[in-house]
Amino acid sequence: MKGKWMMLMISIMTMMFVLGTAVAQEKVTVYTSLETDETVKYLELARKELPGLQIDIIRLSTGELGARMLAEKDNPQADCIWGWAVTNTEQFIPMGMLEPYKPKGVEKLDQRFVHPKYFYAGIDMYIAAFCVNTKVLKEKNLPMPKGWYDLLNPKFKGLLAMPNPAASGTGFLQVASLLQMYGAKEGKEDGWEFLKSLDRNMGQYIKSGSRPAKMTAQGEFAVGCSFDFVVGELKKQGAPVEFVFPVEGAGYEVEANALLKGAKNPNAAKKFLDWAISPSAMKLYSEFKLGVTLPGIPTRTDMPKLSEIKLYPMDFAWQAKNRDAILKKWESLFLK
């Protein structure tokens, strides 16, 4: 009897060990374009709140992430995407690369940022902003720019930096917003003429949305065309920089999550996607972002209020439809 009891105990312990190992080994591979500074903080919370999930993150710029997904189309190496530009995400829906999924709590989000068939759920927005180095302005006797038009001043020649739109979502939203402002949706070429004029003063196009701001903070440029929170972080660290949101209207992009079709770990991916729109995740996003998609979450106090910024009304469907043509033309004009 004692022997049978011992065998039963051993069997139960073995089963518990096997089950525990299986839980511990459940993993999800996530592609993201969220900035590294953000991702580190977000992952700390995710791993704390999802202890049974091994979360493997691969961080790439917006354009690089899209290129990788296309290369892996027939054999996806990730399970889901997290914080990727809606404009890019929209492009992958007709390609059949995304799987509809309705994460828990999605009905609480602002539905403007949720796909009607749940191919994606938006989590936050980032807004185009100039990072202006006040020290460089003073040294070179340059005027404080208020908008895009001011950057055409010949005094800024060689002192501007901007993201390459083919590699950076921030770069694309800047170009797309300018084209829309100048009537590209109606077939006008004025936006391209403006970009040509801007190019005459451009010091460098960079394959990153944040590096123009960081390089400007180091004094390499007078103005870095970048996005809101990276400027806020640099200012908080004591860099001699100021925000400028273009008076013509600041372009913006929504970052979204989606389940990849053919995901090898779909159940684990769904657990992660549920967490990624949870109130606790949203509260943490708001420490970096000016706006999140869950109503009622306060934004950070050291940055301008969203209500005070003139946003340009971005047409994401138009941008997604015309993205390839825009990038092809931009590269032909400015990457010679």
Q: Pick the closest to residue 171 from 206, 196, 213 (CA basis).
A: 206
Is residue 224 within 8 Å of residue 131, measured between CB atoms? yes
Sign of the alpha-carbon torsion through 300, 251, 120, 23: negative
- Dist. CA 93–CA 88, nearest whole Å: 9
Q: Pick the closest to residue 286 from 244, 209, 229, 236 (CA basis).
A: 229
Give me the pLDDT at residue 25, please.
61
The CA-atom distances, in angstroms, between 104 and each of 43, 53, 85, 269 are: 19, 17, 21, 13
Question: Based on the number of CB atoms within 10 Å of its own CB, is 67 exposed (0-12), middle (13-18) or buried (19 or more)?
Answer: middle
Residue for token pair 């979360």: 55
Give me the pLDDT at residue 336, please.
66
Give me the pLDDT at residue 290, please.
84
Helix (H) or strand (E) holding 282: helix 279-285
Is residue 216 within 8 Å of residue 131, measured between CB atoms? yes
The number of angstroms, rounded, from the C-alpha of 203 to the middle of its chain's C-alpha atoms is 24
- Dist. CA 257–CA 201, nearest whole Å: 36
Question: Parallel, antiparallel, or unpaired: how do β-strands 121-133 and 223-227 relate?
Answer: antiparallel
Give me the pLDDT at residue 300, please.
78
User: Hey, is 314 helix, strand or coil?
Assistant: coil
**What does DSSP assign to residue 108?**
G
Give me the pLDDT at residue 7, please.
45
User: Where are any strands of DSSP class E within 154-284?
Assistant: 160-163, 202-206, 223-227, 241-244, 252-260
Complete domains list, the chain, with CATH: 25-125+253-303 (3.40.190.10), 127-252+309-334 (3.40.190.10)
- The structure's pTM equals 0.76
Give me the pLDDT at residue 12, please.
44
Q: What is the pLDDT along the chain (336 residues), one digit of tens a residue?
A: 545 544 444 444 444 444 444 445 699 999 999 989 899 999 999 999 999 999 999 999 888 999 999 999 999 999 999 999 998 899 999 999 999 999 999 999 999 899 999 999 999 998 999 999 999 999 999 999 999 999 999 999 999 999 999 988 899 999 999 999 999 999 999 999 999 999 999 999 999 999 999 999 999 999 999 999 899 999 999 999 999 999 999 999 999 999 999 999 999 999 999 999 999 999 999 988 888 999 999 877 888 888 889 999 999 889 989 999 999 999 999 986
Question: Which DSSP string corresponds to 165-201?
Answer: TTT-HHHHHHHHHHHHHTTGGGT--HHHHHHHHHHTT
Question: Based on the number of CB atoms within 10 Å of its own CB, is 334 exposed (0-12), middle (13-18) or buried (19 or more)?
Answer: middle
Is residue 69 within 8 Å of residue 92, measured between CB atoms? yes
Sign of the alpha-carbon torsion through 271, 273, 278, 282: positive
- Dist. CA 78–CA 175, nearest whole Å: 29
**Neighbouring-strand partners of residue 57:** 30
The number of angstroms, rounded, from the C-alpha of 243 to the middle of its chain's C-alpha atoms is 19
